[in-house]
Structure 1
């Protein structure tokens, strides 16, 4: 584990005060780590709401144990250990979060979209403003939790197919940069167990995303992306199916949890736009989630004079075209992304 020393005299003084019950000192100590820890919990659990619960449990456990913290690791590493163990307990008690393709096959008709599947079932997005912290911790491996290439929906969805130990091992070793021996100590297991978990996790990655790593990055032409997004908004708001069709890849996907319905392929997605989505007017406002471009989508129903929240949409782009339209219709997700109650 990391060297047995405190980061600086100020932190050492705050630790002594926190150990005597000074809540202000504890809050000051932990504040820089809150967002990185929350992101770690989100990756483990697949829901920002579950991550909220895990973070609160982490802080409560840290508060109760701060008097016994001896500085054998950095404070950030100690908090990551607590958070990881809490997430593992939560994973053992809860079913994994699903994507639409986990739940059912794609539809071939728009006639019946099925009934909403309620409850903590679906993989959920996280707003970009919950990923970026002005107080990033540069001297601790936990700071690398802010790497956006490890926060895309495809990566988080892939993690949900791993066991809890496999998720923890992959994140601690390959995202946070801890060694197998450090990770084994953090999770109170053997190095052989961690290496086995990593091997199985990588095999699952290859099965789910053959030939490519889920965090593989491609250069993004910002001007080209901006043109694509502007065209997407125009086509959606103008209810222009022909233009929308030109923006999509051949194997594009359109998902919409908590509705189980989803469509795969340009022709089926175009039909869905034409026959269902474009039945009513829409207004789109830009937002970001999971490091992906997206929009707050407001819909005006017949007889209403206002546009009201219809859902959050995040896009995945490959080679200049949209390969996934990942929409989330849950009002709780809309509120988390700061959508307004109405738009005139």
Structure 2
């Protein structure tokens, strides 16, 4: 196996296979990094490819005093910031805004919709084992949770990048300044503002471990209740301050009563067969959601549903309507009943 120095020399000489070996260990973590900043799996994959292409074209300018990893993060971060400046990269998703039935008045309405997409856990499983630096403040699971990602998307792009680089990845202030071509004072100031705006999630410490007996029990109970259309059973599983959101709709239903009313009047308003197919997203239990077509034995996909848990209770339900997300989770668009 060739060392990094030999791979770098060969890549600079035009050896594409050497370049692939040099950057491959960082491919997955770079994709997750782009996802944290952009909030979109599809955009993250596009920006990852742009990053690797830019690295290949610019490898002659690589400064050997910096690590390959830091060099790639510099390219990826600045590509993401450039993408965020381009409003045209964001889909407007008018179809996602429509509903088959009138929606009840939300308890809260955001000024702007969130374009956040869920991230398949199967991709997180492929992350290289890079321990975050000593500056990191967030645990790995917390840093990909939907609550954390949604809060990140509300930060200005540069603050978002600084917080991810410093508090999630643990880069030092001097390294972040180099990545962003900024001063350390500017990085420190941006981080201070980002931390002030990004309130920590107090309930994360009580989240069951993935695939633990407690999590499996909650998932099984929720599946039975949802497929049976038992709103009362679902409400009994919610915390009092539970909330429901449906990105990209800028609507939030907060409190067990409001969530229950939404389920009774919209999601579970009629009989018929519903099926939840388990998967995982953002380190959380998730389901492909399918509804029986009354005219055929086919169950059609109705998006993805993600649960946020605290202990044995559900604190949030996030419904993603976009069926184009399903293939990333290995889920079909339809099932035979």
Q: Check whether TM > 0.5.
A: yes
Which position in structure 2 is the counterpart of 1:318? 310
Change beyond 3 A, Cα 1:305–1:29: same
Correspondence for 1:16? 9
Give the equivalent residue in structure 1 for 2:102: 111
Asked if 1 retains the 8 angstrom alpha-carbon contact of 2:323 and 2:333, the reply is no
Match of 1:220, SS? coil
- Alpha-carbon spacing, 1:235–1:140, altered in 2? closer, same or farther (3 Å): closer
Q: Assess, with a 3 A threshold, how the Cα gap between structure 1 residues 241 and 218 changes in structure 2: closer, same or farther.
A: closer
Matched, 1:34 2:27: yes
Matches within 5 A, 1:73-92: 73-92=66-85
8 Å contact kept, 1:256–1:327 = yes
Give how far 1:9 is off. 5.7
Structure 1 residues 279-314: Cα deviation after superposition (integer angstroms, max 9, x where no partner): 232111111111111111111122121112111111
Residue 161 of structure 2, aligned match among 165, 168, 185: 168
1:197 aligns with 2:185: no
- State whether residues 114 and 250 of structure 2, in contact with CA within 8 Å, keep that contact through their aligned partners in structure 1: no
Q: Deviations over 1:164-207 (max 9, x none)?
A: 2211111111111111122112211111101100110011113x
Instruction: Show structure 2 runs of 5+ residues with no match.
Output: 92-96, 106-112
| Change beyond 3 A, Cα 1:260–1:186 | closer
- How does 1:261-276 map onto structure 2 within 5 Å? 261-276=251-266
Please say which of residues 81-90 and 261-270 is displaced more in the overlay. 261-270
Q: Distance in 2 between matches of 1:165 and 1:251?
A: 32
1:334 is aligned to 2:322: no
1:236 equivalent among 226, 233, 241: 226
The within-5 A match list for 1:91-110 is 91-94=84-87
Distance of aligned partners of 1:215 and 1:138 in 2 relative to their CA distance in 1, 3 Å threshold: farther
**Which 5+ residue runs of structure 1 have no aligned equivalent?**
1-7, 99-103, 105-109, 115-119, 207-211
* Counterpart mapping for 1:119-268 below 5 A: 122-133=115-126, 136-138=128-130, 147-206=140-199, 212-213=200-201, 216-218=204-206, 220=208, 222-268=212-258
CA distance in 2, matches of 1:146, 1:319: 18
Instruction: Note the aligned Cα RMSD (angstroms).
Output: 2.8
Do 1:46 and 1:97's aligned partners in 2 also have CA atoms closer than 8 Å? no
Q: 1:185 to 1:215 in 2, by over 3 A?
A: farther
Matched positions, count = 314
Structure 2 length-normalised TM: 0.85
C-alpha displacement of 1:129: 1.1
Cα deviation for residue 247 of structure 1 reads: 0.8
- Residue among 300, 306, 325 paired with 2:292: 300
Instruction: Rate the CA distance shift 1:76–1:139 in 2: closer, same or farther, 3 A.
Output: farther
Instruction: Provide the rounded CA distance (Å) in 2 between the counterparts of 1:304 and 1:267.
Output: 34
TM, length-normalised to structure 1: 0.83
> Offset at 1:318?
1.9
Deviation at 1:268, TM superposition (A): 2.4
CA distances 1:253-288 after superposition (whole Å, capped 9, x unpaired): 222234555422222222222232222321111111
**Distance (Å, rounded) in 2 between the aligned partners of 1:85 and 1:215:** 33
Q: Distance in 1 between matches of 2:225 and 2:258?
A: 17
Residue-by-residue CA offset, 1:108-162 (whole Å, 9 max, x unaligned):
xx73479xxxxx962111111111226x154886xx9992221101111111121
Per-residue deviation, 1:228: 1.1
Query: C-alpha separation between the residues in 2 aligned to 1:73 and 1:258?
Result: 39
Q: Look up the match of 1:289.
A: 281
More deviation in 298-307 or 270-279? 270-279
Task: Tell me which residue corresponds to 2:109.
Answer: none
CA change 1:195–1:146 in 2 (3 A) is closer
